[in-house]
């Protein structure tokens, strides 16, 4: 796993644009964050994730506003000369838009991504770190959520409604800020940071104008090479770790399903696994049971809920598999880590 991910200067530019609304100059933020401003001369450059985090932390410190990153997205602030935005806003429905948002976000940063999934009667957008070694700050979650929610609202209009929000933070002030900004009930102390919608919201159509398939074909000719290159050079196991979090909630995925989620054929995935000396079955077991261990550290999730989150319909089968892998039962593991 990549322990030192990077973020594109493009996504850092987005953050700097938002910061400028508070009257902060780029030079102030560069100096406070310890970033060489010359790096921003190259839009293809990337900055260490630690410095990317500093941009968020230092803006909060300089403005004195802990919730500064909860900002509405306005149409006039979108980079309409940017193919990424055309690609996203030319989606035919919310489900397609979310998939495209995930693709674009992964081009911009190796640190994390929005992952959307369906569970029972809900559609969930989860803020996922790209590896177990990375934890985003509250400010990054604030900004990511407000940007994704704003983009969805601009696409689907007022018909799009949030059901609820889950966040890791337990502070009453952040919960109150979320409920005021998103106008949705928010629960803190959760294992995941998630925006939750009724499943029917995924079927909402583009509110303003029809999606243009000809425009899609033009954009994809430009973006597709970058998306393919991103899939080829992102560490395969890291990509699988992200995909498993989304797929396991629906049961253990097949290699075909995983390949589709990674944007490649099953034959290509098999070849890449073989090239790296990896086994699909072994990686599925490893990530499934290691994810279970991370979920068990959260006291708000029962063992049965953890079993379901990693694709076990039978809690007994989950406990047996967990004990074989970790040497202790799920309950014993939880006691050791509490």
Quick one: three-class SS letters along 276-288?
Answer: CCCCHHHHHHHHH
Residues 87 and 173 in one domain: yes
Distance of alpha carbon 26 from alpha carbon 231, whole angstroms: 32
pLDDT digits (tens, 9 = 90+) for 52-91: 778 888 888 888 888 988 888 766 655 545 666 777 778 8
Q: End of a domain among 203, 221, 253? A: 203
pLDDT score at 225: 63
Name 135's Cβ contacts closer than 8 Å, sequence gap at least 6.
129
- Higher-pLDDT residue of 312, 213: 312
- Higher-pLDDT residue of 306, 136: 306
pLDDT digits (tens, 9 = 90+) for 7-30: 666 667 767 777 787 788 888 888
pLDDT score at 3: 40
pLDDT score at 1: 35
Domain limits at 110?
75-203
pLDDT score at 80: 47
Residues 50 and 81 in one domain: no
Answer whether residue 279 is part of any domain. Answer: yes
- Higher-pLDDT residue of 106, 32: 32
Strand partners, 126: 115, 194
- Least Cα distance to 217 among 44, 80, 83, 79 occurs for 83
Range of lowest pLDDT (48-57, 248-257, 306-315):
48-57
Q: What percent of the chain clears pLDDT 90, i.e. is strictly above it?
A: 17
- Higher-pLDDT residue of 246, 3: 246
Buried b or exposed e, range 262-271, using 16+ CB within 10 angstroms: bbbeeeebee
Helices (H), the chain: 9-20, 26-33, 49-63, 83-89, 94-108, 138-156, 172-182, 213-233, 236-247, 255-261, 266-275, 280-296, 303-309, 315-326, 330-337
CA distances to 71, 205, 254, 302, 334 from 236, rounded to whole Å, are 34, 34, 16, 31, 30
Residues 276 and 323 in one domain: yes
How many domains are there within the chain?
Answer: 3
For the segment 198-219, the average pLDDT, to the nearest whole number, is: 80
What 3-state class would DSSP assign to 325? helix
For the segment 141-147, the average pLDDT, to the nearest whole number, is: 87
Answer whether residue 208 is part of any domain. Answer: no
Kindly report the average pLDDT of the chain as a whole number: 81
Range of lowest pLDDT (143-147, 230-234, 317-321):
230-234
- Residue 173: is its pLDDT beyond 60? yes
Q: Which domain CATH number covers 294?
A: 1.10.10.60
pLDDT score at 5: 57
Residues 241 and 199 in one domain: no
Write down the pTM of the prediction: 0.72
- Residue 227: is its pLDDT beyond 70? no
Range of lowest pLDDT (46-50, 61-65, 74-78, 134-138):
74-78
- Higher-pLDDT residue of 217, 282: 282
- Higher-pLDDT residue of 65, 235: 65
Residues 50 and 88 in one domain: no
Answer whether residue 229 is part of any domain. Answer: no
Residues 264 and 309 in one domain: yes
């Amino acid at each position: 796993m990549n322990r030192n991910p990077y973020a594109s200067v493009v996504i850092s530019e987005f953050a700097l644009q938002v910061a400028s609304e508070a009257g902060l100059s780029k030079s102030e933020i560069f100096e406070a964050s310890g970033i060489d401003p010359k790096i921003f001369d190259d839009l293809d450059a990337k900055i260490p994730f630690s410095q990317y985090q500093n941009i968020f932390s230092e803006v909060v410190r300089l403005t004195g506003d802990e919730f500064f990153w909860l900002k509405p997205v306005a149409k006039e602030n979108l980079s309409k000369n940017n193919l990424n935005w055309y690609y996203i806003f030319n989606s035919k429905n919310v489900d397609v838009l979310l998939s495209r948002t995930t693709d674009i976000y992964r081009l911009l940063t190796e640190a994390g991504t929005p992952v959307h999934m369906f569970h029972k009667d809900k559609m969930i957008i989860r803020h996922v770190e790209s590896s177990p070694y990375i934890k985003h700050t509250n400010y990054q979650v604030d900004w990511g959520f407000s940007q994704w929610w704003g983009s969805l609202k601009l696409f689907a209009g007022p018909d799009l409604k949030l059901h609820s929000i889950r966040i890791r933070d337990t502070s009453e002030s952040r919960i109150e800020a979320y409920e005021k900004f998103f106008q949705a009930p928010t629960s803190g102390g959760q294992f995941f940071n998630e925006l939750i919608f009724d499943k029917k919201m995924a079927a909402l159509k583009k509110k303003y104008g029809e999606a243009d398939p000809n425009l899609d074909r033009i954009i994809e000719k430009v973006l597709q090479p970058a998306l393919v290159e991103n899939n080829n050079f992102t560490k395969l196991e890291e990509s699988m770790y992200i995909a498993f979090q989304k797929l396991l909630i629906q049961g253990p995925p097949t290699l075909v399903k995983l390949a589709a989620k990674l944007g490649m054929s099953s034959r290509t995935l098999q070849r890449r696994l073989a090239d790296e000396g990896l086994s699909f079955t072994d990686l599925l077991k490893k990530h499934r049971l290691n994810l279970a261990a991370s979920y068990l550290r959260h006291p708000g999730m029962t063992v049965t809920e953890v079993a379901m989150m990693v694709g076990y319909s039978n809690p007994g089968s989950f406990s047996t598999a967990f004990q074989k892998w970790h040497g202790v039962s799920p309950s014993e593991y939880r006691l050791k880590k509490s």
